[in-house]
Amino acid sequence: MPKAQAPESPRSILVRGPNWTGDVIMATPGFRALRAGFPDARIVLQIQSGLRDLVAGAPWFDEVVPVTSHRQGPLAQWREARVLRALGPFDLGLCLPDSFAAAFVMRMAGIRHIVGYRRGWRRVLLHQLVDLPSAAGKRVLLAREQHVLGLVEAAGAPPVGTQLELHVTEEERATAAQAFAAAGLSPERPYAVLAPGASFGPSKCWPASAFAQVGDKLVRSGVQVAVIGTPAERPLTAAVVDAMREPASDIAGAFGLGGLKAAMSRARVLVCNDAGARHVGVAFGVPSIVMMGPTALEKTNMNLERVSVLTADVECRPCYQRECPIDHRCMTRIPASVVAEEAERALAAGAEFRGVQQELPEIAG
């Protein structure tokens, strides 16, 4: 099996980035360490085109190029490899996804030294295999920050802190300001953010009616409420606003990830599911209340100082199913009253807020 060591002074590095919003944000400690470890190298990030705004303004990469073959066949993978080969040559490649396809594209692109985790048949494509910590277990319950940092350190760049980090450009601030103004949100008044969606699937979504109850409590506490989401989540955000008794602004689809960064950077509190918005909030130190159902906290159990994670005490979680095959009890049994209480506590504490991780008994919300 491959046991080669990474080159000590690579001139050109390709990073195949994660495929999900939250995973990209949780990879930022690794990105920071890579640039600090190789300050003179040309570093190229390959990422889903819809996620590239997440790293806008960051100092870690010389170029950002799109992934074009995700969930497609060998022909698309070969075409992508040819594009990457033309961008090279690359002395070093970091394969952050644990998939065979990602490693295959990097190998076909002619990268001289590819570093990745020892997972399944992909091991034959990698030059340097990194073992997962034994504590991760068969389900690989390892914090994503550590998952990425382990590969970066194996490549020769030690960690430079584990905190998440995002940057906001002036253009992104202007985009968010325009959307807020159009929605009637005053820049002079503090605001809370509700994020009821989750691209993973409906199993991660706390009920819209419950979000509405929390939103009403926050408005009565003296803040504006902005309900955010993707264009596809407009029916969901509309359901939250329609169910509220107090006024709120639905800004779903008003901006992309760049505008989301800018909007979140100034929020007083965030209430959300275990989805991408959660990690954007954490990167900016926003006090956050997260309802977690079908997933396990072990994969995202770092950077929780200002995050309260609320779960229901039900036997079927975590199941990692995108749609619940029964009654969605892992989410519906998280009481809105408890979430509202935590949100009000976060609002009152501000920068002094300290989160909790709480498993709630089976009480109807």
State the average pLDDT over residues 258-280.
Answer: 97
* Lowest-confidence region among 41-45, 59-63, 139-143, 339-343: 139-143
Per-residue confidence at 364, pLDDT binned at 50, 70, 90?
very low
Average pLDDT, the chain: 93
Q: What pLDDT, on the 0 to 100 scale, is given for residue 5?
A: 76
Residue 173 has pLDDT above 80, yes or no: yes
For 346, the enclosing helix (H) or strand (E) is: helix 336-349
Per-residue confidence at 1, pLDDT binned at 50, 70, 90?
very low
User: Each residue of 43-88: pLDDT tens digit?
Assistant: 999 999 999 999 999 999 999 999 998 888 899 999 999 999 999 9
Report the distance separating Cα 346 and Cα 349, nearest Å. Answer: 5
CATH 3.30.1490.190 for the 170-360 domain, yes or no:
no
pTM above threshold 0.75:
yes
**12-154 CATH fold:** Rossmann fold (3.40.50)
State the average pLDDT over residues 277-284.
Answer: 97
The answer for residues whose C-beta is within 8 angstroms of residue 1's C-beta and 6 or more apart is: 123, 129
> Which DSSP string do the residues of 242-287 spell out, in sequence order?
HH-SS--EE-TTSS-HHHHHHHHTT-SEEEEESSHHHHHHHHTT--
- Residue entry with tokens 């819209």: 208
* Domain ranges within the chain, ordered by starting residue: 12-154, 170-360
Q: How many Cβ atoms from other residues are within 10 Å of residue 328's Cβ?
A: 17
Q: Classify burial at 279, counting beta carbons within 10 Å of its beta carbon; exposed 0-12, middle 13-18, buried 19 or more.
A: buried
State the average pLDDT over residues 326-355.
Answer: 96
Q: What pLDDT, on the 0 to 100 scale, is given for residue 6?
A: 78
Per-residue confidence at 138, pLDDT binned at 50, 70, 90?
low
Are residues 295 and 204 in contact, defined by beta-carbon separation less than 8 angstroms?
yes
Torsion of CA 283, 349, 220, 246, to 10 degrees: 10
Residue 187 has pLDDT above 90, yes or no: no
Are residues 334 and 352 in contact, defined by beta-carbon separation less than 8 angstroms?
no
CA-based nearest residue to 51, from 64, 70, 69, 62: 64
What burial letters (b/e) apply to 280-294, b meaning 16+ CB within 10 Å?
bbbbbebbbbbbbbb
User: Each residue of 193-239: pLDDT tens digit?
Assistant: 999 999 999 999 999 999 999 999 999 999 999 999 999 999 999 99
Q: Which residue has the higher pLDDT, 129 or 364?
A: 129
Residue 357 has pLDDT above 80, yes or no: yes
Q: Which residue has the higher pLDDT, 142 or 48?
A: 48
Matching fold, domains 12-154 and 170-360:
yes
